[in-house]
Amino acid sequence: MHHYFRVFAATSAAAIISSLAFSLSTSTPSVAREIVTFSGEQPGTIIVRTNQRRLYLILGDGRAISYPVGVGRPGKQWTGTSFVNGKYRNPAWSPPAEVRRDKPSLPDVIPGGSARNPMGVAALTLAQGEYAIHGTNAPGSIGGFVSYGCIRMHNRDIADLFNRVDVGTRVVVTR
């Protein structure tokens, strides 16, 4: 199953500035981003390993930044190669049809910055327009099989990744 969603870029300068702020507070090692050994991929590539619930940004020289993520729940995961086709700070969110069927009380659009917005402080949309790598306002979901196919990150981590990648970045999702 494929899921389409729409994100809307924030136009307010205050929203952009507030989305840049993120905590550098200490985290437990199991949920912290870290530099790890990783080889076999081109620098700048994003690799998501859903079974590990980790996203890797390849740095080169045998290194990568490893971030904890939440991934698709059973029956909602996907694998394949895509690329980042959009970058949005503080995006609004419109629930896709499948989410709306499961949660009919959701509004048509949840504004960016709202505590009810599942996109968090930033989103990287992927080429087919069906999925995104995005932040979350539910940090307890990171590390789980929790989404309809999108890749969720802590807000501080999507802010970090957002600043490191460009539109066109290759994304490979594997089990």
Provide the token pair at 142. Answer: 């990171």
What is the model's pLDDT at position 1?
37
Does 3 participate in catalysis according to the annotation?
A: no
Distance CA 93, CA 77 (A): 20
What is the model's pLDDT at position 30?
54
What is the model's pLDDT at position 21?
33
Domains and CATH numbers, the chain: 6-174 (2.40.440.10)
Q: Among 124, 102, 105, which residue's Cα sits nearest to residue 116? A: 105
Out of 2, 3, 134, 154, pick the active-site residue: 134
Q: Among 11, 14, 18, which residue's Cα sits nearest to residue 155? A: 18
The low-confidence residues of the chain, meaning pLDDT below 70, are 1-31
Per-residue pLDDT reduced to its tens digit, 65-89: 999 999 999 988 889 999 999 999 9
What is the model's pLDDT at position 129?
73
Q: What is the dihedral of CA 104, 108, 113, 118, to 10 degrees?
A: 40
Does 150 participate in catalysis according to the annotation?
A: yes
Long-range pairs, 24-29, Cβ under 8 A, ≥24 = 24/156
The pTM for the full model equals 0.81
Q: For residue 171, which amino acid is it? A: V
What is the model's pLDDT at position 5?
42
